[in-house]
Structure 1
């Protein structure tokens, strides 16, 4: 089986959860007889073809249909929320015979795939990685902020190209990464083949001990606790709540250091975090480090050395970084939002706190110090990963889903 994996952007130097899923599942599918070609826009990268670990990656020129659109606005859309046109990508889909299209975006790229699917008689499936029903209103407004004072001519092009807006309706199958959104999808599309397929994790990578030491680099004394959060520097990820937590704990005499690792997708939010650190004298107790490649041993070292891992997101469809922390044997404290409520079993594989609630977060920090609880959570979480979230298991389920979709499509 030969598949086209269509994704809005694919850049090893600016990694996100969707790229992680596409790349690792493509690698694992090879052993199951399923080949994948990754087709993306050139957002954050150069157009052209590369081959990595036997996987072909093609990136195409693209544009956003807004005028005027400056370079900073374009970069903001590249990082988050962009809905581009990519004519060259469509040509590739029409020129090569694929058995199945798998699109990881519900915007114009999915509408383009739908049009080619009808023309070529090739089924397509669509994955929802970033949530589609529970995105907070404030986040939705921020997504369109770069487009203020621009003229959107995309609607005109859509009509000229006769694109259909409901790309889900034409899909032969739907994958929801977050368990919380499956019921809504089933309600809206009762005749569709819909599955919940969570993200996976490279267990070997995060279990293997590495030599790099963050404690040594940061000059931390042995008694100082190291807290970690790995996620984009973004208002959605809500790192500001961790700074407020740290301020309270330092005021209470606790000895802690907070390490934030992740690419910056919202520059004003990074400035807000830095200003908060300056005003509250936290600069020597907080380290903000740019995003690391997924294969960088410094990322693994951060997980392995941390005393606690936090994910305080306001909106989180899944939370692949939780799996990475579990692999490294770290206890996790996460916000009870979105897919995290289904991923983390409170009191068994981690601790949950009320969204954006400092008091609830501080209570979770006290709770995890109960004798033996951190070790109990970490032990259970590792068993959960081994039994449910290895890439081998996830990719086998994906291959089975592809086979079922193809059989149903050609049977009808």
Structure 2
């Protein structure tokens, strides 16, 4: 039987393995590379010139290309610059046996090279660089998929304009589908469940306005209050998750109800607005791991004196997490103008919370709140803003790391190593803008 020529890729059966291409004008080098990656789970292609390599690019997608620097007719730097322009998603690596610093720098700048390797190479280092490069590409492709998903979800949110009850049912189903998608992303990227929750919180806040950042501020304060009140680490974590998702029931509400201060709503609009706590619990009901958080979300607008909603619970009948969320949520809402007619400064917001101790709020929760906010003083900052060039292994993120459009990259308290710092460099280079980085002092 006649073997299929390697160049005729369009005739080969579909292959899900990553495709890597080695380009070198020396046949012995290509043979060595084939042997090195013979047992790997890659589809390995080779070309002995830039012209032959470009022909392979025309035949199908290539995930990673490794090119020799010096070749006749067209150099590796020129080849990779052309690849960058026509196939920007392909990861590019330069291989050189010459200590020519200027050529290497020019190749890195013009072709946005991921790494460069020297001949003779170390086999373990070479395979590790290829493996890491493909992992970075996979992570970048997944982020692009999720960003596209967020844009689609946001467009759909803005298009809903009639039949509020039907809208809530549709939004609940949409939320559950989105949570399923994020859970899948969590498995493929090996991220924690909490990171997935934070990604979804960013989706909730895509509607912008005063709601932007609200959930994260509430979650942070609520967790600290829970710890101050002696709750276990697991219970404090549950409170924080509930804080991140406490406004999920507002996804089905029209912008008018979200952006109008609560005290200015008429009785009809107020009744519609108050359904968001029950809708929030319903949206998360199918997720067993969020059962406790969904109960806190249902009751975070109950009052300690029994005059709240939706169930008119009072005193200890209100879940402790919901009593904590009530304080944290109202403290932020007083300042962003969604509760009273006019936004309050921080000092006045503190006074309002303290004045309602024993009436609207649990006195124990208010005492924990007072200890944390320090009366009227601003909290002491324990973080510092840094540039990516200042990052060092061992540093710990003091804030969640997001892209400019709100997509979560790394969660707060994530310890950085050389691999992650390299990925941050690569992402900034691809996005052509710096990321907002904050680390603990």
TM bucket, shorter chain: under 0.3
Point out the structure with the larger strand share.
Answer: 1
| Highest RCO, 1 vs 2 (Cα 8 Å, sep ≥ 6) | 1
The two structures have a TM-score, normalised by structure 1, of 0.26
Q: Which has the larger radius of gyration?
A: 2
The two structures have a TM-score, normalised by structure 2, of 0.25
